[in-house]
Amino acid sequence: MFRYILRRLLQMVLAFFGTTLIVYALTFAGQGDPIQALAGERPVTPAQRAYLTEKYHLDATGVGGFFYRYFDYVKNLLQGNLGESLTGRNIGDILQQAWPVTVRLALIALAVAIIFGVTAGVLAGIRRASIFDNSTLVLTLLVLGIPTIVLAPLAQYFLGVKWQLFPPTAGSDPTFYALLLPGIVLGSLSLATALRLTRASVAENLRADYVRTARSKGLVKRRIVVVHVLRNSLIPVVTFLGVELGNLMSGAIITEGVFNIPGVGFNLFRGIRTEDGPLVVGIVSVLVVVYLVSNLVVDVLYAVLDPRIRYE
């Protein structure tokens, strides 16, 4: 296990450099004039242009110039310096402000998925083909079918504006209550998937041979379901939720955008829109690390939950 984790960490280093390189290339290769993009409609004086060219090593051109700037960037990154955005703000500071908001939002979404999705999935799996099972099927298909870009404004309009049950937007430094509605919207997709997955897994495990054995041991039905079936059924669900947490942590561009939540996704989207290369690359680099770490955690968790999995 230890050796497996070590090997995975080494793989992560490679994956990290690979992805940052690609993101770096994609962001800057397609860019016309970054200095003009920074200034927007306003004219740029030759002095400003010269200063920025000097600062970002924009004078070196071609592939050589690209790698020059990339290694420059990686060098700073390894020192924990994410650099500055084109607007002159420290990217580390931006993330430090944005991340707690996104993490809170992600945890709310995940809690929604677990509390409602997994519970309903277990019940639907046990009572297969019941009214409850069929109605959850319809509801989850509906949720899975509606994209967030539709669901989020709808929820915002009805629950936030019209009936005023929740604050319609979060704003800077949002409270738990302000994040609740966006969290539910964000979590609804994970909820639906978690529900379907749990239901299928429970239904399958209820038919497993070991359940027949447990019955022949004369165990009470409750124990068979709660101990034997659930322990096995939740292996894929926990795996899914782990990966999902990694996804949610990397920010939700649409949800954060609609509800005006100053999280990671919100900042990333702003970076993309304003062609702020350093900001995009900075955020994505950190997201890559978050994603890689969460995947590693899921893999390790998987081995803990399922003794048949051995990483050697």
Q: Which stretches of the chain bind other proteins, using CB under 8 A? A: 207-210, 212-220, 223, 228, 231-232, 235, 305-308
Q: Which residue has the tokens 């690979």?
A: 18
CA distance 98 to 92: 10
CB 90 to other proteins: min, Å: 48
Residue 94 CA neighbour count, 13 Å, CB half: 25
CB 135 to other proteins: min, Å: 21
CA distance 76 to 68: 13
CA distance 184 to 251: 14
Q: Which is nearer to other proteins, 55 or 308 (CB)?
A: 308
CB 216 to other proteins: min, Å: 5
Give DSSP secondary structure letters for 250-276: T--HHHHHHTT--SHHHHHHHHHHTT-
CB 7 to other proteins: min, Å: 23
Task: Kindly give the interhelix angle for 2-29 and 277-305, rounded to the nearest 10 degrees.
Answer: 160
User: How many residues can be counted in the chain?
Assistant: 312
Q: Which is nearer to other proteins, 57 or 231 (CB)?
A: 231
Q: Which residue has the tokens 């690609």?
A: 22
Q: Which is nearer to other proteins, 12 or 235 (CB)?
A: 235
Q: Which of 263, 262, 280 is nearest to 271 (CA)?
A: 280
Q: Looking at this protein, which amino acid is placed at residue 278? A: P
Q: Which is nearer to other proteins, 50 or 227 (CB)?
A: 227
CB 141 to other proteins: min, Å: 23
Q: Which of 239, 208, 236 is nearest to 224 (CA)?
A: 208
Q: Which is nearer to other proteins, 57 or 217 (CB)?
A: 217
CB 214 to other proteins: min, Å: 7
Q: Which is nearer to other proteins, 242 or 271 (CB)?
A: 242
